[in-house]
Amino acid sequence: MGQMHFHVSDAAAEFFHHCRWNDAYLCGIEGVPWQTRNAFHPGAPSISGPIHSPDDLPAEFKASSNAGGKFTLTRSVATSAKLLITCPIEGIGYRVLTTCSLRCLDASHRLIIELARGSCYRVRTQADTWQRGGLLLNERFEELLATGTQHFLDSLQPQSAVVNARSGASLIATNLEADAESAKSAIQAITVLEQAASELGDLFSSQSMAFRRSREPRLSTMMAVGVSPEVCCASHGGVSARQNQAASPASPAAKTSSTATLDNALAGIDETTNTIGGQIIPAFNAAAVRISWGDIENASGTPDFSSVSKVLDDCASVGMRVIGGPVIDHRDGLLPDWLTLMDNDFEQLLSSMTKFVEATVNQFRGQVHLWNAASGLNVAGPLRLDDEQVMRFSIGVLQTIRRCDPTTPVIMSIEQPCGEYLARHADGISPIHFADALLRSGLGLAGIGLNFRFGFDHGETHPRSPLEFAQLIDRWGTLNAPLLVQLSIPAAPGTDPAARLKTSPVSLSPEIDGRAEEWARQQHEFARPLIETLLAKQIVHAVVWDGASDQAPHVMPHSGVIDSHGRPRPMLAYLTKLREELLM
């Protein structure tokens, strides 16, 4: 059993208690989290026993937020590790901060100092690496880096400690004043260095994009919008795709009519109000159509492909490429309910899966340009499979698709690619190790999908800076396989009655209030640098925005580029401009 302790001084207590420390975890050099138990031991004499969540703090302690203590993380090994904790950064929002690698000691590390050291190390080393590769740094970044580094150095040796020592002040007074000054300097260092990290990320994406465009004026990257089959069922009350084909394919009337049909499918609205859907299509050059077991086969052996067929016809009529799947979506509530009858019969489950995948691929072969075989099998889900069964199930899905459609590329998608789920549950497989095993299986896997869901209370990836996100994509790039990246970010608070998953949105910034307009702006501001980072990476072949319109049935709450009242969000205008300027 290994414990890592961090001292939270009184001067740093307010910053710490605004962090999401109950979700913090430890990881090794590979970035794979250990299962971790967190506890905070307040230093105030009126509080006894460990605190496992901010909700456990007494009311008087919450009100003051000025008492420190000891933050302890417990795991099964006693090797060195890095701490990852989500903290609020002034002017930026919540971001994951990382310490450097620390030894597992009986003594406590100084938390705020180690977080500042980690920020300083990450920004300086990544800037040096990219600069050696040809990146040009600007004056703003240089100034932020110099200022942040100076604040970090000030936190290591506060000036007041030197002055008081020379003046003969009492040791207690000297320590208290020095501790307060050190904490203040460390927090300033973190704030400025994280601003430098954002600036560095922008420099990388803009210059890398310029280099790509010098060789490829129009990027071939797929920018896809997620479409659910329920949308199709609700939207095809008017002109059908087959009726549209009765007109001449070259006639303007035929093109307008078929576009309207797809617009309705994307917007999830009646055909008489299809102008909103018309704003969606110019923003995307592909559609990620959900062709999923839980949506199609409500009763064993009786799949209903009608709604999916209509949307695929419409995509073909307007020239949109199609990503089909995930054929198996391994999340609670997204698999057929009748599978619970097979809890103890894995062979029967495997047989039922094979029959469904065969029927689905045979039905849509030639209409799908990329198969998304399965999503989330790396995470413990409703099927409750052990590691061996997960691999057999995954390989069975891949083998069946390759057998029925040997020419269309197939990918497998990973939930929570940073592996946050491993920090809380022993069940589950390391995401990058799972992907590596599938790529080595010899089944012709064409690439890996990475599903990032930021800002939700369940199954989310903790919010990263553009710099951290770029480093994460580079880590996945070491597998030498093309990547498809799916993004889900909420643009409104509260319950979304049209969403399949009832997870709740969580703000990505403590400064955001409950207004939907503020959330929509937050969605755009958080997503923009991530998307530009992805487009700058040649290994990323497709980006999927998971949600068209919140008016239609969808999976993730409030994630659409159009809100539940039919109003376009800032994200839609950004994606439309991006496609006009950069994409085919």
The β-bridge relationship of strands 2-8 and 69-75 is: antiparallel
Tell me the mean pLDDT in the region 387-415: 93
Q: Read off the pLDDT of residues 266-310 as tens digits, 9 standing for 90 and up.
A: 544 333 233 234 778 889 989 999 999 988 888 777 888 888 888
Q: Which among 266, 332, 327 has a CA at the least distance from the CA of 296?
A: 327
CB 4 within 8 Å of CB 83: yes
Tell me the mean pLDDT in the region 412-429: 88
Given this model, what pLDDT does residue 468 score?
Answer: 93
The span from the CA of 451 to the CA of 417, in Å, is 7
Q: Read off the pLDDT of residues 133-163 as tens digits, 9 standing for 90 and up.
A: 999 999 999 999 999 999 999 999 865 544 4
pTM score: 0.85
Q: Report residue 45's pLDDT band, with 50, 70 and 90 as the boundaries.
A: very low
Residue 505: phi, psi to the nearest 5?
A: -65, 145
Helices 346-364, 387-404: inter-axial angle, 10-degree rounding: 30
Residue 246 has pLDDT above 80, yes or no: no
Sheet strands side by side (includes 109-110): 37-42, 69-75, 2-8, 109-110
Which range, 57-61, 277-281, 331-335, 558-562, has the best average confidence (pLDDT)? 558-562
Q: Report residue 318's pLDDT band, with 50, 70 and 90 as the boundaries.
A: confident
Contacts of 144 (CB under 8 A, 6+ apart): 192, 193, 195, 196, 199
Average pLDDT, the chain: 83
Distances (CA, A) of 19 to 53, 341, 509: 11, 43, 11
Q: Read off the pLDDT of residues 500-555 as tens digits, 9 standing for 90 and up.
A: 888 899 999 988 877 888 999 999 999 999 999 999 999 999 999 998 888 887 89
The span from the CA of 51 to the CA of 333, in Å, is 33
Percentage of the residues of the chain whose pLDDT score is greater than 70: 84
Beta bridge partners of 448: 412, 483
Q: Report residue 311's pLDDT band, with 50, 70 and 90 as the boundaries.
A: confident
> In what helix (H) or strand (E) does residue 27 lie, and over which residues does it extend?
strand 20-27
Tell me the mean pLDDT in the region 383-404: 91
Given this model, what pLDDT does residue 109 score?
Answer: 93
Q: Read off the pLDDT of residues 100-120 as tens digits, 9 standing for 90 and up.
A: 999 988 899 999 999 999 999
Q: Report residue 220's pLDDT band, with 50, 70 and 90 as the boundaries.
A: confident
Name all domains of the chain by residue range, CATH numbers in brackets: 2-214 (no CATH), 216-582 (3.20.20.80)
Which range, 131-140, 177-186, 335-344, has the best average confidence (pLDDT)? 131-140
Given this model, what pLDDT does residue 54 score?
Answer: 57
Given this model, what pLDDT does residue 191 score?
Answer: 96
Tell me the mean pLDDT in the region 212-239: 69
Token pair in block for residue 81: 């590790």
Q: Read off the pLDDT of residues 3-43 as tens digits, 9 standing for 90 and up.
A: 899 999 888 999 999 999 999 999 988 888 999 999 998 87
CB 249 within 8 Å of CB 231: no
Given this model, what pLDDT does residue 254 score?
Answer: 39
The span from the CA of 24 to the CA of 410, in Å, is 35
Q: If you search the block for the tokens 């942040």, which residue do you land on? A: 148
